Amino acid sequence: MRITRRGLLLVLSSPSGAGKTTLARRLLDAEPGIHMSVSVTTRKPRPGEVEGVDYFFVDKREFERLKARRKLLEWAEVFGQLYATPKTPVVDALQSGNDVLFDVDWQGARQIKKRLPRDVVRVFILPPDGKTLERRLRARNQDSEAAVVHRMAKAAAEIEHWDEYDYVVVNVDVEKCLAELRSILAAERLKRERQSGLAGFVGEMLDDL
Amino acid sequence: MRITRRGLLLVLSSPSGAGKTTLARRLLDAEPGIHMSVSVTTRKPRPGEVEGVDYFFVDKREFERLKARRKLLEWAEVFGQLYATPKTPVVDALQSGNDVLFDVDWQGARQIKKRLPRDVVRVFILPPDGKTLERRLRARNQDSEAAVVHRMAKAAAEIEHWDEYDYVVVNVDVEKCLAELRSILAAERLKRERQSGLAGFVGEMLDDL
């Protein structure tokens, strides 16, 4: 017995240094029913990157064409390069009952929520405390104090949007935090409104009574 | 680090024969942070029943007084006896961050939702199919065919309200279903709006950055 359901979009945001990348990878490994969204980008492929796996690589003209035709769910410019989430694969996944994982900042989360409000589940991942976050950001940037200050300001700017999310988890322990993300995913899959096959399932049951 | 949160009210409904009583008991055993709501009733204590544990036993006059003073969250009459959920212990639990489990029918669920809409999480438990439910109801009532027919009609009437619930779980396997209930509880505890201490926690973090 398997009840048909609509997929969901699990959006993870956090300041860098909160462990989001590790958590996303662990979640994908643990949950075969959810896949990472593959972005479109105008930047050049790096050695080893595979078209359609790491990114869909397009030129600027093609990117603008996708945007104009409303084929992009969200988009952003980072260091002069354009990045976006193509809409078609996401809509296909939703309709076939597959879940999609997004690793985006608060602006991306807001855009996706606006376009597909009922399908989005937004989770914000917080670091245990400010000191820990600073230590992690310093460990990454051994180049200059200015770079660290910039990263800290960027992290703070991201954290300030914590209250636009449905769930908030604090990453003190990666195993505990992973278990929490898995609970959120499991619970959201059981939401009545997502289980599109329930009406038929209950109808058959009532016919048998 | 422990972030203060508001408790929640987990409401379980199902037709009889769907395994709700077993699931509720298993959930209480597995989750120390949630307790069963203790009802007020006008019926006489049965041997072994303890005041304040099984029920709060009151007379009809006291029951009516509680009702008139709006001290009851929901109430129902069953076989000429009155049953109700007293409001004060539930409100106290919510404020101290403790969760309360309710085993009520759709009418009770509706009343609790109306009184404390933001705190209620409603889960409907379905049996695997109509035939299984019928077999379970027959096994219980070996007295008369009329009693079985009555029970089946009552089960069907309860099932018809499945679409008033936030979550729907199908009890094919009790361990799987218990895990699903635990995921729902874990996820709902992580909802941003329930974590009342988050604003202060994030404020301190931002001060450190």
ipTM of this complex prediction, to 2 decimal places:
0.94
Domain assignment present for residue B75? The answer is no
pLDDT of A5 reads: 96
Q: Choosing among B205, B206, B208, which should be mutated to test the A contact, i.e. which has the most A CBs within 10 A?
A: B205
Minimum Cα–Cα distance from A190: chain B residue? B167
**Using the 8-state DSSP alphabet, how is residue A143 labeled?**
S
pTM: 0.94
CB contact under 8 Å between B190 and A168, yes or no, is yes
Domain assignment present for residue B77? The answer is no
Name which of B159, B169, B190 is nearest A206 (Cβ-Cβ): B159
CA–CA separation, B27 vs B90, rounded Å?
18
Domain assignment present for residue A91? The answer is no
Could you give the residue ranges of the DSSP H alpha helices within chain A? 20-30, 60-68, 87-95, 106-115, 130-140, 145-159, 174-189, 198-208
Number of inter-chain CB pairs under 8 A, A vs B: 134
Short-list B92, B91, B117, B95, CA closest to B197: B95
A133 touches chain B (CB under 8 A): yes
Mean pLDDT of the A159-181 span: 97
CB contact under 8 Å between B3 and A170, yes or no, is yes
Domain assignment present for residue A112? The answer is yes
Mean pLDDT of the B166-194 span: 98
User: Of A27-41, B78-92, B136-150, which range is least confident?
Assistant: B136-150
A154 touches chain B (CB under 8 A): no
- Span A28-74, pLDDT tens digits: 999 999 999 999 999 999 999 999 999 999 999 999 999 999 999 99
Mean pLDDT of the A132-152 span: 83
Beginning with the edge strand found earlier in the chain, give each strand of the sheet holding A39-41 in spatial order.
A55-57, A39-41, A81-86, A72-78
Short-list A83, A119, A124, A113, CA closest to A100: A119
Q: 3-state class of A36 per DSSP?
A: strand
pLDDT of A1 reads: 65
Short-list B160, B154, B14, B52, CA closest to B23: B14
pLDDT of A172 reads: 95
CA–CA separation, B140 vs B15, rounded Å?
14
pLDDT of A142 reads: 66
| Residue B142 confidence class, pLDDT cut points 50, 70, 90 | low
Domain assignment present for residue A65? The answer is no
Domain assignment present for residue B168? The answer is yes
C-beta of residue B162 within 8 angstroms of C-beta of residue A161: no
Mean pLDDT of the A170-186 span: 97
Mean pLDDT of the A152-173 span: 96
| Residue B1 confidence class, pLDDT cut points 50, 70, 90 | low
pLDDT of A198 reads: 97
Q: 3-state class of B16 per DSSP?
A: coil
* Mean of per-residue pLDDT scores for chain B: 94
pLDDT value at A140 more than 90 = no
C-beta of residue A109 within 8 angstroms of C-beta of residue A123: no
User: Of A45-59, A143-157, A182-196, B28-42, which range is least confident?
Assistant: A143-157
- Span B116-131, pLDDT tens digits: 999 999 999 999 999 9
Could you give the residue ranges of the DSSP H alpha helices within chain B? 20-30, 60-68, 87-95, 106-115, 130-140, 145-159, 174-189, 198-208
pLDDT of B170 reads: 97
User: Of A78-82, A144-148, A153-157, B65-69, which range is least confident?
Assistant: A144-148
Query: What CATH number corresponds to the domain at position A204?
Result: 3.40.50.300
pLDDT value at A79 more than 90 = no
Handedness of CA B64, B66, B68, B73 (dihedral sign): negative
Domain assignment present for residue A123? The answer is yes
Handedness of CA A129, A135, A141, A145 (dihedral sign): positive
Mean pLDDT of the A179-198 span: 98
pLDDT of B204 reads: 94
Name which of A1, A129, A134 is nearest B172 (Cβ-Cβ): A1
pLDDT of A78 reads: 87
Q: For residue A5, which residues of chain B lie inside 8 Å, CB to CB?
A: none
Closest chain B C-alpha to A81 CA, distance in angstroms: 28
pLDDT value at B2 more than 90 = no
pLDDT of B82 reads: 96
pLDDT of A174 reads: 97
| H-run or E-run covering B118 | none
CB contact under 8 Å between B186 and A180, yes or no, is yes
A131 touches chain B (CB under 8 A): yes
Q: Which residues pair with B48 in a beta bridge?
A: none
Q: For residue A195, which residues of chain B lie inside 8 Å, CB to CB?
A: 168
pLDDT of A114 reads: 95
Closest chain B C-alpha to A66 CA, distance in angstroms: 35
**Using the 8-state DSSP alphabet, how is residue B45 labeled?**
P
Name which of B159, B186, B195 is nearest A168 (Cβ-Cβ): B195
Name which of B3, B133, B166 is nearest A191 (Cβ-Cβ): B166
Mean pLDDT of the B78-107 span: 95
Q: For residue A204, which residues of chain B lie inside 8 Å, CB to CB?
A: 129-130
CB contact under 8 Å between A206 and B156, yes or no, is yes
Q: Which domain holds residue A119?
A: 9-37+98-208
> Which residues lie below 8 Å from residue B165, measured CB to CB, with a gap of 6+?
A192, B13, B109, B122, B123, B124
pLDDT value at B141 more than 60 = no
pLDDT of B120 reads: 98
pLDDT value at A209 more than 90 = no
pLDDT value at A141 more than 60 = no
Minimum Cα–Cα distance from A171: chain B residue? B1
Q: Which residue has the tokens 């619970």?
A: A187
Q: Is A67 exposed, middle or buried (0-12, 13-18, 19+ CB in 10 A)?
A: middle
Q: Which residue has the tokens 């006291």?
A: B62
- The number of residues in chain B equals 209
Name which of A131, A160, A208 is nearest B131 (Cβ-Cβ): A208
Domain assignment present for residue B66? The answer is no
CB contact under 8 Å between A191 and B167, yes or no, is yes
CB contact under 8 Å between A184 and B170, yes or no, is no
Q: For residue B180, which residues of chain A lie inside 8 Å, CB to CB?
A: 186-187, 190
Q: Choosing among A8, A168, A173, A195, which should be mutated to test the B contact, i.e. which has the most B CBs within 10 A?
A: A168
How many structural domains is chain A composed of?
Answer: 1
CA angle B160, B161, B162 (to 5 degrees): 95
Minimum Cα–Cα distance from A197: chain B residue? B168
Short-list B201, B1, B208, CA closest to A133: B208
